[in-house]
Structure 1
Amino acid sequence: MHRIMLREVIIDAPAADIDVVTTFWAGALDATPHPIPGEPFVALRDAASLPHVATQSLGGHDGPRFHLDIETDDLDAEIARLEGLGATVRTRYDDYAVMVDPVGLLFCLLPPVSEEFATRSRPVG
């Protein structure tokens, strides 16, 4: 048994569009943008949203998209569970994985870092 929780919706955009995308979604969700130093992310704090929301600069390589971040306390077990549901691993790192659902939508599996994990995660497996 391990635990999972949808932590965040990430709005991905090419670097050339990240400011306009961040401004739009901050306004749309009545949020305050907070760049994360040294990272390509801008947290949209206090958004009118259940999950956290952020924007991410993709550089110039990919077009705009959304992806989800899911926290888990057992990366290997969660990868295996989701592969059983039809997902595939796109890229595996030591502490997280980028995966693709059965129709090609990206999502990430990450270790638990949010304060809500202890109270809002759910046991699976």
Structure 2
Amino acid sequence: MHRIMLREVIIDAPATDVEAVTRFWSGALAATPHPIPGEPFTALRDAASLPHVATQDIGDDPTPRYHLDIETDDLEAEIARLEGLGATVRTRHADYAVMVDPVGLPFCLLPPVSAEFETRAKTV
């Protein structure tokens, strides 16, 4: 058994549009944008939302989309569980995985980093 928690909704936008998307979603969710140094992410702090929200510069990829970040305290077990539900690993890294659901929508599995994990994660 291990624990999981949906941590974040990421709004992926091409480099040419990420500034406008960040400005829009910051306004829409009454949030303050905070670029993450050295990363393609901008956190939308204090957003009017339950999960954390961020934008991501996806460079030359022309396809805007949303993806979810899910925290887990057992990456291997969660990959296996989600594969059993129909997900597929797209890219495997040492400490996280990029997966797609049965219709090809991307999401990431990450180790726990949020303060909420201890109190909000569910055992699966």
5+ residue gaps, structure 2, are none
Q: Map 1:3-18 onto structure 2 (within 5 A).
A: 3-18=3-18
Name structure 1 gaps, 5 residues minimum.
Answer: none
* 1:112 and 2:112 correspond: yes
The residue number in structure 2 matching 1:59 is: 59
Three-state SS of the structure 2 residue aligned to 1:16 is: coil
The structural deviation recorded for 1:42 is 0.2
Map Cα deviations across residues 8-54 of structure 1 (whole Å, 9 max, x no partner): 00000000101000000000000000000000000000000000000
Task: Name the structure 1 match of 2:83.
Answer: 83
1:69 alignment counterpart: 69
Cα distance change on mapping 1:3 and 1:42 into 2, 3 Å: same
Deviation for aligned residue 1:80: 0.2
Provide the alpha-carbon RMSD of the alignment: 0.5
* 2:99 pairs with 1:99: yes
Structure 2 partner of 1:28: 28
Question: Whole-Å Cα distance in 2 between the matches of residues 3 and 114 of structure 1?
Answer: 13
Q: Distance in 2 between matches of 1:74 and 1:17?
A: 35
1:99-121: per-residue Cα shift (whole Å, max 9, x none)? 00001110000000000000000
1:63 positional shift: 1.1
The size of the alignment, in residue pairs, is 124
SS at match of 2:86: coil
Secondary structure at 1:12 match in 2 = strand
- Residue identity in the other structure for 2:65: R
Q: Which runs of 4+ in 1 moved over 4 A?
A: none
Give the SS at the match of 1:83: helix
Structure 2: distance between partners of 1:60 and 1:28 = 25
